Chain A
Amino acid sequence: SQQGEEDPQALSIQEGENATMNCSYKTSINNLQWYRQNSGRGLVHLILIRSNEREKHSGRLRVTLDTSKKSSSLLITASRAADTASYFCATDAKTGGFKTIFGAGTRLFVKA
C-alpha cells in the first residue's frame, strides 16, 4: 500500500510564482526523495533528503523534512512553464527491507 499522501493533488500557478507541494508519510524512514514525471514519461530524480536533515537546496528547488510530523515539502521558486509535470515524494520504509513507496503525487500546471 502507498505510504505517502500529497497535497495539493493539483496546483495551477502563473509563471514566475512559487509552487509548494507537501507530502506526508506514515512510517519511519531513512530518507525521502522527490521525483518529477512529465506526462506519460519516466521519472526524473530531483532531490534526496536524509532523515537527519531538515532542509536541502538544489537550484530553484528547496526541500524540507520534518520527521516529527512525518512530512516534507517541495518548493519550486520562480516557476517556469517547463516545470509543468507531476511531482511525487517517495520514501524508503525502514520496515520490509529496501524499497521505495511513492506518494499520490501533485500535478503542477504552470501557465505562461
Chain B
Amino acid sequence: GAVVSQHPSWVICKSGTSVKIECRSLDFQATTMFWYRQFPKQSLMLMATSNEGSKATYEQGVEKDKFLINHASLTLSTLTVTSAHPEDSSFYICSAANAGTPEETQYFGPGTRLLVL
C-alpha cells in the first residue's frame, strides 16, 4: 500500500526555536496533504490542508504565521513550527491523499512527537 513517512519521528527543542517537520509520500503523488495535531488522549485536530503549488488552507484558530506549511512538490510537504513554546508540544501527524485512487483514502504518516522545553 501507499506509504507516507515523517521526519523526524521525535524532536526536543528549546522554547523560542523553530522546528521543521517533513512529510513525504514515498510511492505515490499526493496533490493534497493534511496536517493534524493530537494532544494526549485526544483526537486528531485538522490544522491545515496543503495543496501542491498553492498556499495552505488553515483551519479556524490555527495561526498561519506560527505554523508555516510548504508543499513544493507532489511528494513533500513541510510544517515549520516557528518560535515554538511548551504549549506547542504535541503529536503532529500528516496524511496524503493519493490523487490516483478512486476512493478518498488518506494515508497517514507515523507522526512526529514534539516536546518544547
Interface size on A (CB < 8 Å)? 25
Mark each residue of chain A from 16 to 54: 1 if its CB lies under 8 Å from any CB of chain B, else 0: 000000000000001101010000111111001000000
Q: Which of these binds chain B: A62-70, A74-82, A102-110?
A: A102-110
Evaluate contact between B49 and A99: CB separation under 8 angstroms.
Answer: yes
Q: Any chain A CB within 8 A of the CB of B43?
A: yes
What residue of chain A has the Cβ atom nearest to residue B103's Cβ? A48
Q: Any chain A CB within 8 A of the CB of B67?
A: no
Checking A30, A40, A48, A98 against B91 with a beta-carbon cut-off of 8 angstroms, the contacting residue is A40
Q: Which of these binds chain A: B69-77, B81-89, B109-117?
A: B109-117
Which residues on A sit within 8 Å (CB–CB) of B113?
Answer: 40
Q: Which B residues fall within an 8 A CB radius of A?
A: 32, 34, 36, 41-46, 49, 57, 60, 91, 93, 95, 97, 103-111, 113
Is the contact region of chain B dominated by helix, strand, or loop, or is it mixed?
Answer: strand
Q: Could you show 16 A-B contacts with beta carbons less than 8 Å apart?
A: A31-B103, A31-B104, A41-B110, A43-B44, A43-B95, A44-B108, A45-B105, A48-B105, A97-B49, A99-B34, A99-B49, A101-B46, A102-B43, A102-B45, A103-B43, A105-B43
Q: Which A residues fall within an 8 A CB radius of B?
A: 1-2, 30-31, 33, 35, 40-45, 48, 88, 92, 97-105, 107
What residue of chain A has the Cβ atom nearest to residue B4's Cβ? A42
Known: A92-B104, A98-B104, A100-B34. A2 touches B45 (CB 8 A): yes
Which residues on B sit within 8 Å (CB–CB) of A100?
Answer: 34, 46, 95, 106
